[in-house]
A and B are shown apart, each in its own frame.
Chain A
């Protein structure tokens, strides 16, 4: 699809030729993730996380479908059917722990994938559409994960659903009716549980569809690379298979080792103990916290404590939380620097590092109780988050003097600074983006 020197698909066995003549699916796969997709030769390990995200999606769909066979989406039995899966279903404990930790690992690899894109400027022209579709996937993932967390009908499920749907209640005038409409009642109950289950089963397939668009959009310009210099000729690329399938195979091995470690030896480490208490509308948990992957956004939500004239602080928090994700959709037009890679942008790189620490601080504060000093820390960190994307990035783009770019990927590789894993990059030490 992407480059004129991409290899044509030639069927090796008659059966494949027979299929390919009638439905060019083998040709399509070969061009998408086979030998027919030329990829820059200098990708480092941060480029593994796209494939790993796809792998995590498959794990979630497979374990989720099996779990759904044993689950009862009814508020009277949901908690008990999950325990039934854990105790009486063959390997049910494995499916559930893999699904619960699989969600966390999905977010880990997607966050690394996003931060790789942020550092290497993967969102810039001509790859804006890849970035935008990626953000759509991210939003769908957040919705799916939130609804999935409600299904076991534990205390955090119930109160999390109440708090998050309550966000819509902050909208003036129409807020309360919207919240009631979303829940199918005045509080989370059987109606909410049923629709959440239905949507939780649907959305992963929507995600899979958008993933196909994401990859399609990627194949038009081809993959970005650590130098940010576009591919100029065949010498700059290697075929995806076997080069990157081999590399992704190794990456998948590392992923599975970390994943298996959590599933088999610390399956509840990333969860909250309160979710092993059955949902009880009459007893509010001491601290209601979402799953860890929502903590940075939860910190932004809670950072607004002062009303802005007629706008209540709660509504400001809701607006800011949604804005913190929506602003990423404008990123390709906020960061106007013609240089993509952070390797050649000394000033950008410093602020990127601050952003990275900032988001980790936000995450920590989002998981902490809503008391001082965490609220004050998250106010400063949230302020930086907005300032970084909306004020600082456009200014850097205007004032920064980037380092000289290499003439081509091959030139950079032969000079020993192509940006792949083992080399020193342009400036001091290679600060890998993550």
Chain B
């Protein structure tokens, strides 16, 4: 009885799936899915290498400091960094006094309450504060940015596939729309107010190119030249750190743990062989 009902159920599901397959096949042949501009022109992130790649990789503190400078001077006007605190900057090699000074002179102020009147006010950030947001709320952010809300950047490099390379590619990927795209997809012309970038999922991005000229940010004398490419790499490295500040701890602990486990497993294997040595199995 069980097998009889099972047979019927199996026949129903398998049969109807084959009907669906045939229907899908006919639809696919008679109306092949139309290619879209997003499908044809979207590009995977460029290949770019960093000091923190691989199991033994470390952050380059000089690079993180340069990236932080780019964030501060270019990105911070629109993009928040809400999960990162000023105190975290010690990972970049700043000392306590420097962090205090960075917080105090930060162009955006921290919201506070006036202790005397109870009214809303602002104050200079202190090291224990997270980076203050550039806009009071999403409505203000959208109003100031052509209706697009600049996303928080704390986790950006983990929130996209190949995030570090993605940020680098996006920053260096602004260009004019290819003539072929306009010829094949005349309806896909970048609307006014948006900017074409093949590394962005739907090709048209509200953000204007933020890095526009070499030397836009002034690096120290002993540092590499601040070309667009260099600045993009540096800020991508910085945003990798903001997304994964414990990466160095993680990788160095991992090497030690694996070393221990391989030896322990070797010993476990030998004791397994020892225990079983007298038993044919």
Question: Which residues of A are found within 8 Å of B17, using beta-carbon distances?
Answer: 303-304, 379-380, 382-383, 386
Q: Is A355 an interface residue (CB 8 A)?
A: no
A260 with B261: CB separation less than 8 A: yes
Question: Which residues of A are found within 8 Å of B33, using beta-carbon distances?
Answer: 371-372
B18 with A383: CB separation less than 8 A: yes
Q: Is A310 an interface residue (CB 8 A)?
A: no
Candidates A253, A334, A383, A391; contact of B264 at CB < 8 Å: A253
**How many whole Å from A277's CB to the nearest CB in chain B?**
5
- For chain A, the count of residues having a C-beta within 8 Å of the partner chain is 68
Q: How far is the CA of A379 from the CA of B25 in the complex (A)?
A: 11
Q: Which 10 A-B pairs have the closest CB atoms?
A: A264-B254, A390-B10, A253-B265, A276-B159, A383-B17, A379-B21, A246-B275, A383-B14, A386-B13, A250-B268
10 pairs across A/B with beta carbons < 8 Å? A86-B246, A253-B265, A264-B251, A264-B258, A277-B155, A334-B3, A372-B33, A386-B13, A391-B6, A394-B6
A390 with B9: CB separation less than 8 A: yes
**How many whole Å from B257's CB to the nearest CB in chain A?**
5
Q: How far is the CA of A312 from the CA of B10 in the complex (A)?
A: 19
B2 with A333: CB separation less than 8 A: yes
A264 with B253: CB separation less than 8 A: yes
Q: Is A162 an interface residue (CB 8 A)?
A: no
B18 with A264: CB separation less than 8 A: no
Question: Which residues of A are found within 8 Å of B11, using beta-carbon distances?
Answer: 390-391
**How many whole Å from B168's CB to the nearest CB in chain A?**
16
Contact with A along B237-255 (1 / 0, CB 8 A): 0000001011001110111
Question: Which residues of B are found within 8 Å of A168, using beta-carbon distances?
Answer: none
Interface residues on B, range: 35 or more
Known: A260-B258, A305-B23, A420-B281. A390 touches B6 (CB 8 A): yes
Known: A93-B246, A390-B6. A257 touches B258 (CB 8 A): yes
Which one of A107-115, A202-210, A267-275 contacts B?
A267-275
Q: Is A351 an interface residue (CB 8 A)?
A: no
A: which residues have CB within 8 A of B? Answer: 41-43, 80, 83, 86-87, 93-94, 97, 238, 242-243, 246-247, 249-250, 252-254, 256-257, 260-261, 263-265, 267-268, 273-274, 276-277, 286, 303-306, 308, 313, 316, 320, 323, 327, 330, 333-334, 336, 371-373, 375-376, 379-380, 382-384, 386-387, 389-391, 394, 413-414, 418, 420
Q: How far is the CA of A418 from the CA of B279 in the complex (A)?
A: 13
Chain A CB count within 10 A is highest, among B3, B19, B249, B280, for B3
A391 with B10: CB separation less than 8 A: yes
Contact with A along B1-41 (1 / 0, CB 8 A): 01100110111011111111101110010000100000000
Question: Which residues of B are found within 8 Å of A384, using beta-carbon distances?
Answer: 14
Chain B CB count within 10 A is highest, among A43, A334, A379, A418, for A379
Question: Which residues of A are found within 8 Å of B16, using beta-carbon distances?
Answer: 304, 306, 308, 316
Q: Is B262 an interface residue (CB 8 A)?
A: yes
Q: How far is the CA of A243 from the CA of B3 in the complex (A)?
A: 40
Q: How far is the CA of A320 from the CA of B83 in the complex (A)?
A: 43
Q: Is B185 an interface residue (CB 8 A)?
A: no
Known: A94-B253, A303-B20, A380-B21. A386 touches B14 (CB 8 A): yes
B6 with A87: CB separation less than 8 A: no
Question: Which residues of B are found within 8 Å of A330, using beta-carbon distances?
Answer: 2, 6
Q: How far is the CA of A379 from the CA of B17 in the complex (A)?
A: 5
Chain A CB count within 10 A is highest, among B7, B18, B20, B258, for B20
Q: Is B229 an interface residue (CB 8 A)?
A: no
**How many whole Å from B71's CB to the nearest CB in chain A?**
17
A379 with B250: CB separation less than 8 A: no
**How many whole Å from A392's CB to the nearest CB in chain B?**
9
**How many whole Å from A254's CB to the nearest CB in chain B?**
6
Known: A260-B254, A264-B257. A246 touches B276 (CB 8 A): yes
Q: How far is the CA of A380 from the CA of B20 in the complex (A)?
A: 9
Query: Which residue of chain A lies nearest to B246 when distances are taken between CB atoms in the complex?
Result: A93
Q: How far is the CA of A383 from the CA of B17 in the complex (A)?
A: 6
Q: How far is the CA of A243 from the CA of B280 in the complex (A)?
A: 12
Query: Which residue of chain B lies nearest to A41 when distances are taken between CB atoms in the complex?
Result: B281
